[in-house]
Structure 1
Amino acid sequence: MSLKRIIPCLLLRDSGLVKTVKFKKTTYIGDPINAVKIFNEKEVDELIFLDIDATRNKTEPPYQAIQDIATECFMPFCYGGGVNNVEQIRKLLASGAEKIAINTAAFKDPNFIRNAVSIFGSSTIVVSIDYKKNLFGKPVVYVNGGRTSTKKNLLNYVKEIEMLGVGEILLNSIDRDGTMEGYDIGMIKDVSVSVEIPVVACGGAGNMDDLKQVLAQTEVTGVAAGSMFIYQGKKRGVLISYPNQEEIKNIIN
């Protein structure tokens, strides 16, 4: 059985830290290095960094920013954003990332994912999947930073991704992103029982009960959250937090 994980998910834009709501309404939060130092102090086990502009702008991943993060970061981290070839993965790993999350390129070129897995190993390659429900309540996969519908059904797509040999799926609800109104439990449950590889759920966490609920009611191996670990109070003041060891035990047990 995989150890349950609670993972801060941090969004990058121009090497700064930002937050979004439903993949829109971007708010600048601060310097990612400062956030990393705080998470170091709080003994976080793992981090996720996603560059929200790299794919849309067709730019290279921010290698220097990743190297700067790795220099300060005491824990392993996953990077995603704009990754579409093997050489980029090689550079990101050399810069200090441990896992690489791939989203749009996984949809456009499944053979790229197969090749990446064969070169770097399944444990290194994560496929990040963003989805939104249509007017009929059906989950549809989106790419290009949540801007483009693939018209693919989520449950069918996750099975296709599993067949590529990846080590993990990062599942993100566009509808829940930044709302702090709770995870999409029903869909997360359906996805997590549809595949045998680890699934990390993201989108909607507002409190520790949300984390506990999704871990208890679904088969995910991890939960990721952004706003919950960045904001405090009704006015959403920026104050980085993370559960202490006693709270973690209560969440995962």
Structure 2
Amino acid sequence: MHFQVGQRAAGNGALMRATTSAVHFARQGRDATMDATRRLAALTHGDRDKLSAMAELGPVAWPPAPIRTERLVLRESEARDRAAFIELFASPEVRTYLGGPRPRDELERAVPEVPGRRPGLFVIDLDGAVIGTISLDRRDAERPGHVRPDAGEAELGYMFLPKAWGCGSAAEACAAALDWFADAFPSEPVVLCTQTANNRSMRVATKLGFTEVERFEEYGAEQWFGVWSSVTPSA
């Protein structure tokens, strides 16, 4: 399962550039529900960019205590999660709408000992094994799709390994992450952008309660842009 829960292909040099800046992957088959460059940059930046990432997301205590659902645990990444991060970026299935898989040898060089340690990025744990990641990041102001005049909305993103597909894990984990966000940033909306061709992500968006705002063309594909809010509209 692949979403953002943003996505771009790139030449080999982009992988190493992502270790120092959240540049965009080039424009092939990108599913805007998961910004692959931002994710890769996050897992290669490590702790040294923790404060800047916090400023980007907003003032929030991080990491929170592990969040437990009926089946899952959402937690901060650890050294033992490195192999799962590499598998997520190297998997052809996961990367179908994300510009394709990254070469394992490049990932082995680029991914640090403890990947993805930054505010807003949760590792999803099932019975002690990592099955995916969820992120909440600020949407780039220059991209299409916004619900606030000043842009910078929180954007939900996720990746799940194929073994976790089809059993409701994505919706269960994302719902818990949205609940955490609603407590940390009361009344603030969360947006989600995915290719309309990404049927799994479209189903998850519906299940989570995202409502369509608009559709637009980006990276050569039709994108679906929706919004979620913890605030119930008044009648």
Bin for the TM-score computed over the shorter chain = 0.3 to 0.5
- Name the structure, 1 or 2, with higher relative contact order (CA <8 Å, separation 6+): 2
Higher share in strand: 1
TM-score if structure 1 supplies the norm length?
0.31
